[in-house]
Structure 1
Amino acid sequence: MKAFILAAGRGERMRPLTDHTPKPLLLAGGKPLIVWHLERLAAAGFKEIVINHAHLGSLIEKALGDGSQWGLHIQYSPEPPGALETAGGIATALPLLGDQPFLVVNGDVYCDFDFGRFFRLTVEGWKPATHLVMVANPAHHTGGDFSLDGERVVYANGEQTFTYAGIGVFSPAFFAGVQPGTIMKLRPLLDAAIAASTLTGERFAGRWVDVGTPQRLAELDQELKNA
């Protein structure tokens, strides 16, 4: 199973920190955010990683190289200035991701999610159409994104809602209708999957932070340094 790390965003809300440093390379607990992911993915058994980039992407490639220092093989999927949004970025990178389901992780989140579970499940033959990891709604997103009906992801129903954690397993076929190079968000594809009852999900109750502002980054940095 390959893993795809989304690292192409401009990080507007993180400015001025991201004026000269791409958001995935911002430090938390003494390490770039994306390195926390790489270390956990390597420990979980992943070997092949694909990373997209746009804003200051050359700095990401320079910092991470080919991934050998973590026992990984990293390939890069460069995007034009402004990037392609999530669905467009993944569709453009499909030639690097192969024909099997792959893990997608947002480069600007911090979590202690067990990526290895998905790796083990796919080795055992698990082939989900699309599977999302959900978390309790953070203070900056109280309305949530979706609800869960057992393992099925449904539209937010106003009762118990959850926020998409930026972690999911996707099949290449999920992006078959998206032309490479197209700017496209992920939500329309997820809505179509909900309508077709093919979107599954689970709740994650562990540590998860959407590192979207300088304040949240500073708080996470302090927490990790004190750990």
Structure 2
Amino acid sequence: MKAMVFAAGLGTRLRPLTNDLPKALVDVNGATMLELVLRRLAAAGVTEFVVNTHHFHDKIAACLREKSDFGFKITLSREEEFPLETGGGLKKAAALLGGGPFFAYNADVYSEMDLTGLYRAHAAAGALATLAVRDRGSKRRLLFDGNMALRGREGEAAGERLRPLAFSGIQVISPGIFDKMTESGVFSITGVYLRLAAAGERIKGFEDKSGFWCDIGDLERLETVRRRAAVDRAA
């Protein structure tokens, strides 16, 4: 099984930590965020990883070389001129991600969700993509119908009764999506999902009801993740 890990972000809201360090290598109690994500995905059965890079690419490459005890294959997809965002980064790495449905996971997300359950739900639904979503506050919530099919974005869709849920930055994607990606350059994968859902493609949500989810979007959230990771390690 394969996974794409998005690690090309600049991490501007984590300065000064990211003045000389990529966000994916920020320390969480002695481990990097990237290491925590890789190990969580590996526990769900992933054996091959593609990690996209831009900001401090060389430091990510060096870190992964040092962590030779991972025991799985890691390929870097470097975005040299500028970060391509999630959609552009995914499309650039398409040739590395064939062979079956794969995970895509933001390297700044700490989650305790059931990744195996997400993968099974994706396979059972025959979806093009299945997005992990949570009932939490967000300015960019997506709308889902009673069958957890994506129907639009909050504030932009109306009509039937729809439920707003926040995307968690974790998803399972079928390789067939690459043939339907008409976008190019820098673009978000969320925009692709919304366009394809509006065209009738099966883009599904999977509600994550696990106890904890947080991204390290700023210094306060990073401290929240560090506290939770310490609890998880002690358990």
Question: TM-score by structure 1 length?
Answer: 0.87
Deviation at 1:156, TM superposition (A): 4.0
Q: 1:212 corresponds to which letter in structure 2?
A: G
Equivalent residue number for residue 192 of structure 1: 195
Q: 2:195 corresponds to which letter in structure 1?
A: A
What are the superposed Cα offsets for residues 68-110 of structure 1, whole Å, 9 maximum, x if unpaired?
A: 4122110110002321111110000011112422110001110
Equivalent residue number for residue 147 of structure 1: 144
What are the within-5 Å matches in structure 2 for residues 117-132 of structure 1? Answer: 117-118=117-118, 127-132=126-131
Conservation of the 8 A alpha-carbon contact between 2:9 and 2:54: yes
Conservation of the 8 A alpha-carbon contact between 1:91 and 1:176: no
Q: 1:52 and 1:179, CA in 2 relative to 1: closer, same or farther beyond 3 A?
A: farther
Deviation at 1:171, TM superposition (A): 2.1
Output the aligned Cα RMSD: 2.5
Q: 1:31 and 1:210, CA in 2 relative to 1: closer, same or farther beyond 3 A?
A: same
Q: 2:69 corresponds to which letter in structure 1?
A: Q
What are the superposed Cα offsets for residues 118-152 of structure 1, whole Å, 9 maximum, x if unpaired?
A: 55678x787531111101224xx256233343221
Segments of 5+ residues of structure 1 without an aligned counterpart are none
| Structure 1: distance between partners of 2:91 and 2:80 | 14
Count the aligned residue pairs. Answer: 224
- Does 82-91 or 180-189 show the bigger shift? 180-189
Q: 1:67 and 1:179, CA in 2 relative to 1: closer, same or farther beyond 3 A?
A: farther
Q: 1:213 corresponds to which letter in structure 2?
A: D
Identity of aligned residues (%): 30
- Does 50-59 or 180-189 show the bigger shift? 180-189
- Does 210-219 or 181-190 show the bigger shift? 181-190
**What secondary structure, in the 3-state scheme, does the structure 1 residue paired with 2:93 have?**
helix
**What secondary structure, in the 3-state scheme, does the structure 2 residue paired with 1:86 have?**
helix
Conservation of the 8 A alpha-carbon contact between 2:141 and 2:154: no
Equivalent residue number for residue 8 of structure 1: 8
What are the within-5 Å matches in structure 2 for residues 98-109 of structure 1? Answer: 98-109=98-109
Q: 1:217 corresponds to which letter in structure 2?
A: L
Equivalent residue number for residue 57 of structure 1: 57
**What secondary structure, in the 3-state scheme, does the structure 2 residue paired with 1:149 have?**
coil
| Structure 2: distance between partners of 1:37 and 1:157 | 29
Q: 1:149 corresponds to which letter in structure 2?
A: G
Conservation of the 8 A alpha-carbon contact between 2:144 and 2:151: yes
Structure 2 counterpart of 1:201, from 201, 205, 210: 205
| Structure 1: distance between partners of 2:5 and 2:21 | 17
Equivalent residue number for residue 215 of structure 1: 220
Equivalent residue number for residue 159 of structure 2: none
Q: 1:176 corresponds to which letter in structure 2?
A: D
Deviation at 1:224, TM superposition (A): 2.4
| Structure 1: distance between partners of 2:193 and 2:125 | 20
Equivalent residue number for residue 158 of structure 2: none
| Structure 2: distance between partners of 1:178 and 1:144 | 22
Q: 1:224 and 1:155, CA in 2 relative to 1: closer, same or farther beyond 3 A?
A: same
What are the within-5 Å matches in structure 2 for residues 5-84 of structure 1? Answer: 5-65=5-65, 68-84=68-84
Segments of 5+ residues of structure 2 without an aligned counterpart are 156-161
- 1:183 correspondence with 2:186: yes
**What secondary structure, in the 3-state scheme, does the structure 2 residue paired with 1:37 have?**
helix
Conservation of the 8 A alpha-carbon contact between 1:66 and 1:74: no
Conservation of the 8 A alpha-carbon contact between 2:142 and 2:154: no
Question: TM-score by structure 2 length?
Answer: 0.84
| Structure 1: distance between partners of 2:141 and 2:120 | 29
**What secondary structure, in the 3-state scheme, does the structure 2 residue paired with 1:176 have?**
helix
